[in-house]
Structure 1
Amino acid sequence: MLTVAKGTIGAVMFFLELGVLISLAYWGFTREVNILVKILLGLGGPAVFATLWGLFMAGGKAPHQLHGIARAAFEVVWFGAGAAALAASGLVTAGVVFAVVYVVDGVLRLLTDQV
């Protein structure tokens, strides 16, 4: 049973990670600016965030793996940016739900030693 719960918690975390990238892309493409800026924001924002994730957080494979408080701070900023991007795009409820799911998943990761 615990194995299934841990797998589910991990899967939710993975989908939250993807959700941040999708949220940033959505935010970028919905800005009321010219098409070139939309493309830059819609593709560039997720690209920058994905690069940062790969450098600092990628499941033990990151060249500059963060630990402890630095990891926690990075996560809060990362997932907070996803929630903020949704809210800034006019999807405030989705942003709040995203943030709540992240917090619940984070607490469950702590309780099951998946940090």
Structure 2
Amino acid sequence: MDFKSLNLALAFLIELVMLWAFGLWGFHVGSGPLMKWGLGLGLPVLVAVFWGVFMSPRAVYPLPDGLYLVLQVMLFGGAAVALMLSGKMTLGIVYAVLVVLNLTLALLWKQ
């Protein structure tokens, strides 16, 4: 396996962690059981649907490159912040570093 393939695998892992981070945050900040479950499950589902429709490689409505990059940074950055706000500071920082590395390599390798 070459480094470009590893970077694509890392991109997929980063996307999965993004969904998990939003779910963790939702369970963390919800004020009652219904709110915890609603945010903990609902937010990742909404993000996954948005990603699938607009940002996945097979998106139904692909976005222009500039808008895609802005939303990608917002979603991944939001996931890093969600981890930190959920008490996972070190994990949030490591995640943010991996996102920057992955996006930089993807840009350089035109992935």
TM range (shorter): over 0.9
- Cα offset for 1:92? 1.4
Question: Match of 1:38, as an amino acid?
Answer: K
Which residue does 1:37 correspond to in 2?
35
What does 1:43-82 correspond to in 2, within 5 Å?
43-59=41-57, 61-82=58-79
Which residue does 1:19 correspond to in 2?
17
> Are the equivalent residues in 1 in contact too, given 2:55–2:68 (CA < 8 A)?
yes
TM-score (normalised: structure 1)? 0.91
Structure 1 distance, partners of 2:27, 2:67, is 31
What is the CA deviation profile of residues 34-64 of structure 1, one whole-angstrom value per residue up to 9, with x for unaligned ones?
Answer: 10000000001101100110111111x2111
- Cα offset for 1:67? 2.7
> Are the equivalent residues in 1 in contact too, given 2:19–2:47 (CA < 8 A)?
yes
Which SS does the other structure have where 1:63 is aligned? coil
Q: Confirm whether residue 10 of structure 1 aligns to residue 4 of structure 2.
A: no
- Cα offset for 1:32? 5.3
Which runs of no fewer than 5 residues in structure 1 stay unpaired? none
Q: Confirm whether residue 103 of structure 1 aligns to residue 111 of structure 2.
A: no
Q: Confirm whether residue 94 of structure 1 aligns to residue 91 of structure 2.
A: yes
Question: Match of 2:50, as an amino acid?
Answer: L
TM-score (normalised: structure 2)? 0.94
What's the Cα RMSD here?
A: 1.2
> Are the equivalent residues in 1 in contact too, given 2:22–2:40 (CA < 8 A)?
yes
Identity of counterpart residues, as a percentage? 37
Which SS does the other structure have where 1:30 is aligned? helix
Q: How many residues align?
A: 111
